[in-house]
Each structure stands twice: as C-alpha cells, then as structure tokens.
Structure 1
Amino acid sequence: MRLTSASLCLASALLTLPLAAWAAEPATSNVATDRPAGQLIPVFAFHDQMPTGITVTRDGRRFASYPRWGDGNAFTVAELKDGREIPWPSKAINRPDIQHPNDALISVQSVVAPGDGNIWLLDTGTLPDKGYAASGQVKDGPKLVAVRLADNTVVRTLPVPPEAATATTYLNDVRFDFSKGKAGVAYMTDSSFTGPGAIIVMDLASGDAWRVLDGHPSTQADPAMVPIVEGRRMTATGKDGQQVVRRVPADGIALSPDGSTLYYSALTGRHLYSVPTATLLDRHITEEEAARTVTDLGEKGASDGMIMDNSGHLYATDYEHNAIHRLDTRTGDWSTIAHDPRLLWPDTLSIGPDGVYVTANQLHRQAAFNQGRDLRQPPYMLYRLDMDAEPVAPENR
C-alpha cells in the first residue's frame, strides 16, 4: 500500500493526541470520599490568638487559655462573651510580671471549671525564647490559680513547689477531686519534652505537691511513634538541620466520676493508661509499687485533650484523624462521635450544659513543624457537639 504525504501527516497527528482523545474520562460525581461523622456546630472564631484550653461552666460561661508560645499574646486567659475575647479576670493580671509571679499570669495552658464555684488556671510559668524579659521557666512561675466566678476575684494562688515542678517541668492539664483531704487534691500532667513526664499531685489545703510515675513508660512519649497529621509526618528541624520528632510525654488526663481512677496518655503516643488514685495519693508508695498498679488500656488514637462525663464516658481527641472518640469505661467499647476535616488539631474538650466543646487550633501548622513557615490560617475555632453529656458532679466525689 502506498502512503501519501497527507496520510502520513494524519497518522502522526493521531499519535500525538492525548489519552483523553482515545477514551472518555471517568465520571467522578459518585466517587467515594472521606465520610464525616457527627455534626460540628461553630461556636466561636479566634481571629488573633491561638487558643489551647477551653472550659464551659454549668451556666454556660466560656473561658479560653492561650499559652505564650511566641505569638506575642496580649493576654493568656479570656472570657468569651458576646463574640469578644475579654481578658480575664483582668487585664492587669494577664501581664507576665516575672518579678511578682504570684500576682500575675505568666502563661496559662489550661482552664478548668470543676463545679466548685471557681475557674482554675494552670499556669506553666514558662515564657518563649523571644519577646519577653525572661525565657524558660520563671522562678516560682508554675502554679494553680483559683478565680471565683461570682465576682471574678482571685481567691487562691498555689505555687507548685520545686520538688514537684522541676526545672524542666511543663504543666499541661489538671483535674480535681474535692472529696480528698481537707480541701481536695489536684492531678496535673508534666508534658515537658526536655525532661521526664510524670503525674503531679497537689494537696489543695497545704499546697504540698509530689511526683508519681516519674519517668515511668506510661507517662513518657512513645519512642517509636511518628505522628502523621494531614497526611504528613509531624517533625521539627533539629539543631543539626535534620527533621526530628518532638516527643511529648503525659498530656491529657481524665478522672472517673467517683474519683477512684485517673486516665492519662502521652501526646506522642496512642495508648491509654489508668492508675488508681489511691496509688497517686500514697506518699509512702515506691515507684516500683506504683508501676505495678498501672493498666495499659490499649490504643485509643493519638490525643491531646481528654475529659470524663458523669456517666463514665471518656472522651478523647484524635489529632491524626481529625476526630473525637468516646470510651464507655464500664464496657471498654469505643465509638467515634466526630470526624470532620475542620477538626484541625482538636485540642481541649469541655462538657457544658448543651453538649461537648472542642478547640481546633491548627497546632501542627506552626512554623516549628513546617521548616520555619507558619501555615496556620485563622480563625481558630471552638466547636460544639449537641449531645447528651453531663459534666461530672462534684458531689459524686
């Protein structure tokens, strides 16, 4: 067969046509996608400062905390009211006075309304490397502060003594049991990534505090875990320029309704642990004896915040999967109550009179985890899940 120049040109053109010319593109309107769970109700948008903690009182007042991590915070605690963030309990106390740390809020990580008529503020006492007259842990800075809701007055300031808050301590979260001792006890997590994790116990009457499970595997970060968030390894640039995992130990905690069991987990870890509070309150128990009372409850996902409701359900965020899970501690059954792409680093949980609240603060998008580029996109959000959950009643303990 004789090919003309015209037919050769036609054949050459056909060979260079894109694949789409030979076969129709597949329809994509019915392709499966990630399926959300639960219904997030937007409650508050934070346009400036990045929050971590949230607490909601039984009458619906809302408070947030903003640790000083280098963003130049104007305040470290605020009440969320009428769409505004109002420095609380006053503007003056929100100034980090390093010369008078007992009279000022240095850097508040957690705010908790345990139902005793107060909001308790967990002050890390730690400042970032830049932007302030001091850096690192301020002398006598780590403390618990109780502010009376009725009149927004500071009624107690309890410094955490150095035998409990060491030079490397970073106070992260706190739970209360007012049935123990003369005035109750507080359980705090030490989540320092430069020192050992631990549970810190404080007697609220005397202010005495002590460390339990200090360096125990259950309070430490998982040395093999690499968090995967938004499909990427969550690493930071080390001193040698290499990418490293910032491993953070004991972080979220929750207390059973009867006060008999404390649940906790590392931020860099996926296992949930429990320990009898009798172990934590025994000042004479050895570390070996305490270790024998710890129970590994298996994987729950990588969580930041945890909380318990009055029915014995434990709620835990899952920052790797933009989710919140719930454990029925009576049966051991887990369920997922929320999964949503908007839950970009679900941080702290609180139970209010109208459901479960959670902050989503994009923590993993900070510059430290993205080779110096701040990828956060304000607003940071506070969401609510409209569900049947009641906060633990203080009289149950």
Structure 2
Amino acid sequence: MKASILVAAAVLALNGAAVHAADGIPTVGKLERVATFGGAMPTGVAVTEGGRIFVNFPRWGDDVASSVAELRDGKPVPYPAAADPFISVQSVVADGRGRVWILDTAAPKFSAPQPGGAKLVAVDLATDKVVKTIVFAPDAVLPTTYVNDVRFDFRAGKEGVAYITDSSLSGPGAIIVLDLATGKAVRRLDGHPSTSPEAGFVPAVDGKPMPASFKVASDGIALSPDGATLYYCALSSRRLYAVPTKLLRDPGVSEAALALAVRDLGAKGASDGLEADAGGAVYAGDYEHNAIRKLAAGGTTWQTIAQAPNLSWPDTFSIGPDGYLYVIANQLHRQAGFNDGRDLRRKPYELLRVKIDARPAPTK
C-alpha cells in the first residue's frame, strides 16, 4: 500500500475498507452510473427539485457542441435551445425555486474573460426560457478571474444573493458576493490565504504528482442549510474553510475584520466540488484518492462514503430530491496540459450517484 494512502487512511478515517492491490484504490459505497459522455468533458451537474438533470461542458479545448444540456433518456440534449448562446460555461446550478442558473466564465481555454462576457443566467424550468441575465462588472471579474461555482440564498436581500468562487490560475482568488436584485457584485477575501492555493501543495493523482503549474484558487463552495455559513476551498489545497455569510454581505465589515472571522476546519482531502445537505452535513471530493467524503453536522471526522477507480477526479456535486448525491467524474488531471501535451483521458466520462438519504440544503 502506498504511503500516501496510509496517511489518508489515518487522517480521514477510511473505515477499514479493503484495498485492491492492483490499483491501490479501495471500493467503498455503492456508486451507480447515471449517464456517460463520449464527446466533450463535462464539469458541472444540477439536479432540480423536480428531478430534471442538467450538465455543462466548458470550452477548454474539446469540441463543445452545446455548453449546457439536459439529460433525456440518458442522452444530453442542448439546453435551453439548440443555438448555444454561451462562451464557456463552468457550472450549472438548480436553485430550488424552479430555475437553473448557468455560470458563463467567458474565458475559453482559461484565457482572460471576454469583456462583458462573464455572466450568470437564469432559466425558468416551466418555460425553458432565459428570465434573467446578470453581467459581472469589471471590478468583480478581473482579467485573471475564472468564475467557478455558485450557491444561492433567497433569504437574504430583496431577490436573494449568490456566492461565487474565483478560481484564478494566476491572480487572486476570492468569494464574489452578488446581489441578484441589483446585479452589484463585490469581491470578498480577495487574495486571502483561504481563497488562495496552499503553499507547498503538490497533489498526486493516479500515483503521479501534478505539475508545479497546478496552482488554482478558491473552487468548491457549499452553503449551510440555514444560510449562515459558507464553506469553501481552493482546488490546490486539502483544507476546508468557513465564514459567516452575514459578514460577507455586510459592506461595513472590512477585509481585515472579515479575515479574522474565517475558520480553518482542517484537512479534508484535495477537493474540487463541495456540497451541503439539509441536515447540515458537508460533502467533499478527494481527487487524490478517487473518493467522496462526508463531514456530519457538528462532526470533526471525515467519513468515506464512496471510493472507486472510476470515480476519477470527482468534480461538481448536486443532491437530488431522490436522496442521491450526484457527481461528475471527468478525469480532469489526465488532460494534455497536465501531461506534457499528451491527452490521457479515457472516454467515456461519467455521471455517477451514491445514496445519502438526505435532501438538498434549502435556499429559501
């Protein structure tokens, strides 16, 4: 057994799972395959309160026919229309209020965002029509910004608030706080250690270290069921952080005061996606060990709820009304940019799910 797996077992409580000698990856939990994708690589998944499933495909170099698709009979169908109006979509998120929101980075191949292109778009599920578009102002989306994931709270503000991670590869990370009524967005924890790549962090995936250039800022994000706490992590880190949302939203709270309110919740594994359920549990991927972890409400020890060889780079999470946690496994680390120009991804990519017997965290 590799030393890294022994350390992970001790720190993250792998519950004594048997390890396959052939690949060093335990099999934990019952993962079910929901859909496969033989074309472009997906990153995001959203399961609505009515059980509809949406996925998205960023323009990172693959030939993307449609940025967003709905799964119908297991097949992706362009959404909301056949003509693709988006530049490069990183996330699609259901809001629990009859809409899906599409986060357009406007940064294909991680280029600087196209002027006026980075936006958040709401689609009404009853009509499948765009009902709201918010374009980010230049002071919120910098030339180095890569807007990554988003969570919503409709208990705050006139029409609600969105919290968005900036997972910049070359500039400061941040939490972008967006007022959905006014469209005003502000950057909080801009360049703070909690939103930045962890110093000295060198992950190993498939037994191989990622290149030194792998330094990605705040990425995963989750909101507590009462809306009071925002959880987040950098992609290039193994730590989880939390901050009171009341302070994030308050313009009278200085950055220095906000920084003092950030809590370091310790090591959880190296994560891309995060999610929280209605009971207050937090879920995190562990892309170094093909795993999904769970931290129970009020708990201090992470439990492995799923782990398997095909859970290759667990990306975005979404909890469905059926009590399943859905996850995209997209082999992100096998892209050519991380492997000396060789594309080592093996299609198809997968949408998987594991039963958690929990409901999504409410947004209203």
Same fold, TM-score > 0.5, yes or no: yes
Aligned with 1:109 (options 79, 90, 101): 90
Q: Give 1:1-397 correspondences, 5 Å limit.
A: 34-92=25-83, 94=84, 104-128=85-109, 136-235=112-211, 244-354=212-322, 355-395=324-364
Q: Which moved more, 1:325-334 or 1:44-53?
A: 325-334
> What's the offset of the Cα at 1:74?
1.2
Paired with 2:301 and 2:356, the residues of 1 have a C-alpha distance of 18
Query: 2:169, 2:216 within 8 Å by CA — same for their partners in 1?
Result: yes
> What's the offset of the Cα at 1:136?
3.4
Evaluate the alpha carbon distance shift between residue 223 and residue 59 of structure 1 in structure 2; reply closer, same or farther with a 3 A threshold: same
Evaluate the alpha carbon distance shift between residue 304 and residue 31 of structure 1 in structure 2; reply closer, same or farther with a 3 A threshold: closer
Query: 1:142, 1:159 within 8 Å by CA — same for their partners in 2?
Result: yes
Structure whose CA Rg is larger = 1
**SS of corresponding position for 1:136:** coil
Paired with 2:66 and 2:77, the residues of 1 have a C-alpha distance of 9
Paired with 1:206 and 1:260, the residues of 2 have a C-alpha distance of 21
The AA in structure 1 aligned to 2:139 is: E
The AA in structure 2 aligned to 1:115 is: G
Q: CA RMSD in A?
A: 1.4
* 2:17 paired residue number: none
Structure 1 unaligned spans of 5+: 1-29, 95-103, 130-134, 236-243
Structure 2 unaligned spans of 5+: 1-19
Per-residue CA shift, 1:69-108, capped at 9, x if unaligned? 011211111001112211100122x1xxxxxxxxx31111
Evaluate the alpha carbon distance shift between residue 31 and residue 166 of structure 1 in structure 2; reply closer, same or farther with a 3 A threshold: closer
Per-residue CA shift, 1:110-148, capped at 9, x if unaligned? 11002011000111011238xxxxx63111111110000
Paired with 1:207 and 1:35, the residues of 2 have a C-alpha distance of 46
**SS of corresponding position for 1:137:** coil
* 1:101 paired residue number: none
Query: 2:34, 2:74 within 8 Å by CA — same for their partners in 1?
Result: no
**SS of corresponding position for 2:35:** strand
The AA in structure 1 aligned to 2:178 is: M
**SS of corresponding position for 1:91:** coil
Paired with 1:387 and 1:208, the residues of 2 have a C-alpha distance of 36
**SS of corresponding position for 2:261:** coil
Per-residue CA shift, 1:241-273, capped at 9, x if unaligned? xxx232001000000000000000000000000
**SS of corresponding position for 1:70:** coil
**SS of corresponding position for 1:368:** helix
Relative to the length of structure 1, the TM-score reads: 0.84
The AA in structure 1 aligned to 2:262 is: V
The AA in structure 2 aligned to 1:64 is: V
The AA in structure 2 aligned to 1:205 is: A
Paired with 2:157 and 2:329, the residues of 1 have a C-alpha distance of 36
Query: 1:128, 1:136 within 8 Å by CA — same for their partners in 2?
Result: no
Query: 1:312, 1:328 within 8 Å by CA — same for their partners in 2?
Result: yes
Percentage identity across paired residues of the two chains: 55
**SS of corresponding position for 1:279:** helix
Paired with 1:272 and 1:290, the residues of 2 have a C-alpha distance of 17
Paired with 2:105 and 2:267, the residues of 1 have a C-alpha distance of 28
**SS of corresponding position for 1:373:** coil
**SS of corresponding position for 1:128:** helix
Paired with 1:277 and 1:323, the residues of 2 have a C-alpha distance of 28
Relative to the length of structure 2, the TM-score reads: 0.92
Query: 1:123, 1:141 within 8 Å by CA — same for their partners in 2?
Result: yes
Evaluate the alpha carbon distance shift between residue 246 and residue 262 of structure 1 in structure 2; reply closer, same or farther with a 3 A threshold: same
Query: 1:45, 1:382 within 8 Å by CA — same for their partners in 2?
Result: yes
The AA in structure 2 aligned to 1:174 is: V
**SS of corresponding position for 1:174:** strand
**SS of corresponding position for 1:302:** coil
> What's the offset of the Cα at 1:187?
0.2
Query: 2:281, 2:294 within 8 Å by CA — same for their partners in 1?
Result: yes
Paired with 2:121 and 2:189, the residues of 1 have a C-alpha distance of 25
Query: 1:223, 1:247 within 8 Å by CA — same for their partners in 2?
Result: no
Paired with 1:252 and 1:90, the residues of 2 have a C-alpha distance of 28
The AA in structure 1 aligned to 2:95 is: P
Paired with 1:387 and 1:209, the residues of 2 have a C-alpha distance of 34
